[in-house]
Amino acid sequence: MSLTYDVAIIGAGPAGYVAAIRCAQLGLKTVCVDEWLNHKGEPSLGGTCLNVGCIPSKALLESSHLYQQADINFEHHGISLSSLAINVGAMQDRKNQVVTDLTQGIESLFKANNVDLIHGRAKIITENTIKIVHRKTRKKIEKLTVDNIIIATGSSPVRMQQAMLADDFILDSAGALELTEVPERLGIIGAGAIGLELGSVWSRLGSQVVLFEAMQDFLPMVDAKLANLAKRQLKKQSLDIRLGSRLISAKVKNKKVHVVYEDKSGEKSEVLDKLVIAVGRKPNSDRVFGEELGIERDERRFVLVNDRCQTSVPHIFAIGDVVRGPMLAHKASEEGVMVAEHIAGNHAEVNYDVIPSVIYTHPEIAWVGKTEAECKAAGIRIQVGSFPFVASGRARAMAETEGLVRIITDAETDRVLGVHIFSAQASELIAQAVLMMEMQATAEDIALTMFAHPTLSEALHEAALSIHDRAIHIKN
């Protein structure tokens, strides 16, 4: 049996499901093929982000943050508790329910927008033909004839030969989200966004967390001042961050993980209850098409695309983690919308200069645009304004005074080039900065904007004012 469609999307993560919905909204006959199975072995839409990434990690971060607040900060607010305990099983049940609700929501959206859904593993046979097989039995399910194909197959965790995954002991990031009890000692290889977020969850619940980071610099992609503030604050939260620590081996012995690593002073060892590998992700581009199709990839196996996410084969597109750029759900979704519009004959583009990034520690780290170091390296003359949250009335009322806002502008045009925030709710505040930059705002534009009082957002206003020595609530 062969089915015919205007567009077939392979993958139902943030790139694929958004592309599918937008294609259908534009009047294109659309099918989405997805192979994901959840921990119960059941089909589950949403890809890595919804099933074992963005959403479940934020659910656990929220639960662990509330526990930590009750343990440390409630008394400061005049709230007394006779006892405090964490039920990890109930916490996991809540997290799983959040995921289930959202995956079912995508199914409902597919039905509402007339997107056909096929569960199975897709392989592109020709420019216009896709074969779908059952993921487990490999038996053929369908053959599709299509005018356009969108590859949205996402990414997978990078494995380490010196630390092979071992059930219940050496885990990837997905496994770290499924722990049913708090490990006494937890090691994490990699102190990037994933490692810091997972470390924060289990540290708040009482685990001794050690992060081994091979690089000498902490969060080198983040504004240097914010990175230093974050490192200091996270160490106060008992995260043991060891920079310049290269893993040599990790082996399970007597139900413990024995880690050998090397730093500038030589070879060292640690004994841990669990070890999480969080050293990045790689594109899922190996099984979706054969080399004979002519779709070009780079040396890291990313699918090569032009500025419209079109591959070297004209009617085949690729979006999200499987192509160049930051592996972020919102970037993937925007590419999905852009490609859908192009297929429908409309003009659309993604502004890759204003993609926000967030690390969901507490306080959160968020940024968009260029750092001060990047501007200087590019020879751009800049001005920098900043405002500390300790001077914010709302931050004081919330007892969330750690952090600051930094705004970087072009010294000649006053245009905003980058915004960097380390604070509570930085993930929400950064959206204002994205809008400012999308609208090509200047520091003067922000300074002339009225912000509600008292809000954390006022810190953006004051940082913009400080660029021209006009801040009210700090000394200029």
Same domain for 43 and 134?
A: yes
Same domain for 286 and 434?
A: no
**For position 263, which CATH number holds?**
3.50.50.60
Q: Per the structure, how many domains does the chain have?
A: 3
**Whole domain around residue 451: which residue ranges?**
354-467
DSSP code per residue over 319-386 = -GGGSSS---HHHHHHHHHHHHHHHTT------GGG--EEE-SSSEEEEEE--HHHHHHTT--EEEEE
User: Can you tell me which residue has the tokens 């219940």?
Assistant: 168
Taking only the tens of pLDDT, the chain with its 476 residues reads 469 999 999 999 999 999 999 999 999 999 999 999 998 889 999 999 999 999 999 999 999 999 999 999 999 999 999 899 999 999 999 999 999 999 999 999 999 999 999 999 999 999 999 999 987 777 888 899 999 999 999 999 999 999 999 989 999 999 999 999 999 999 999 999 999 999 999 999 999 999 999 999 999 999 999 999 999 999 999 999 999 999 999 999 999 999 999 999 999 999 999 999 999 999 999 999 999 999 999 999 999 999 999 999 999 999 999 999 999 999 999 999 999 999 999 999 999 999 999 999 999 999 999 999 999 999 999 999 999 999 999 999 999 999 999 999 999 999 999 999 999 999 999 999 999 999 999 999 999 999 999 999 999 999 999 999 999 999 99
Same domain for 344 and 391?
A: no
Q: Is 473 contained in some domain?
A: no
Tokens coding 379 = 């020879």
Instruction: Please list, in sequence order, all residues whose beta carbon lies within 8 angstroms of the beta carbon of residue 143, skipping any fewer than 6 positions away.
Output: 1, 2, 3, 129, 130, 131, 132
Any idea which residues carry the catalytic annotation? Answer: 453
Same domain for 14 and 130?
A: yes
Same domain for 345 and 392?
A: no
Same domain for 274 and 292?
A: no
Through-space distance between the first and last CA atoms of the chain, rounded to whole angstroms: 72
Same domain for 93 and 223?
A: no
User: Can you tell me which residue has the tokens 């931050």?
Assistant: 395
Instruction: Quickly list H helices, 85-172.
Output: 88-112
Q: If 0-12 CB within 10 Å is exposed, 13-18 middle and 19+ buried, where does residue 365 land?
A: buried
Same domain for 72 and 182?
A: no
DSSP code per residue over 418-463 = EEEEEETTHHHHHHHHHHHHHTT-BHHHHHTS---SS-TTHHHHHH
Same domain for 364 and 330?
A: no
**Domain end point (choices 253, 279, 305):** 279
Q: Which amino acid is at 79?
A: I
Cα separation of 175 and 445, whole Å? 46
307 DSSP assignment: T
Q: If 0-12 CB within 10 Å is exposed, 13-18 middle and 19+ buried, where does residue 163 land?
A: buried
Whether the model clears a pTM of 0.85, i.e. scores above it, the answer is yes
**Domain end point (choices 322, 350, 378):** 350
